[in-house]
């Protein structure tokens, strides 16, 4: 596996925490905020892995992929919170 973005690893997953927490905050719940941040982080990790495996050079395309991955991961986690608590997730 090529380490194209090895020195950019943590800075590239920070959007996952930020985007995930913001999506969780939209649901107005502490659990949604925490799990949204974790889901966003997981989505950013998955997108980072995909970008690294595809050997895409750092730039706008990997950033967009990581943000989209974070949004998808956060939305999945906040929907999970909605199902557990019995109320629909916001958005």
Q: Tokens representing 39?
A: 């889901």
More confident call, 7 vs 83: 83
pLDDT above 70: residue 49: yes
CA distances (Å), origin 55, targets 12, 24, 46, 51, 62: 15, 31, 14, 6, 10
pTM for this one? 0.76
Task: Tell me the C-alpha distance between 5 and 61, whole Å.
Answer: 13
- In this prediction, residue 3 has a pLDDT band, given cuts at 50, 70 and 90, of low
- In this prediction, residue 91 has a pLDDT band, given cuts at 50, 70 and 90, of low
pLDDT above 80: residue 2: no
First to last CA, the chain: 38
Q: In this predicted model, what pLDDT tens digit does every residue of 8-37 receive, in sequence order?
A: 666 767 888 888 888 888 877 788 788 888
């Amino acid at each position: 596996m090529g380490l194209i973005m090895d020195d950019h690893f943590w800075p590239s997953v920070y959007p996952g925490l930020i985007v995930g927490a913001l999506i969780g905050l939209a649901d107005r719940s502490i659990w949604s905020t925490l799990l949204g941040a974790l889901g966003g982080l997981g989505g950013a990790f998955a997108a980072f892995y995909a970008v690294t495996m595809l050997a895409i050079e750092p730039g706008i395309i990997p950033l967009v992929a990581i943000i989209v991955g974070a949004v998808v991961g956060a939305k999945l986690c906040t929907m999970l919170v909605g199902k557990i608590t019995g109320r629909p997730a916001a958005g």
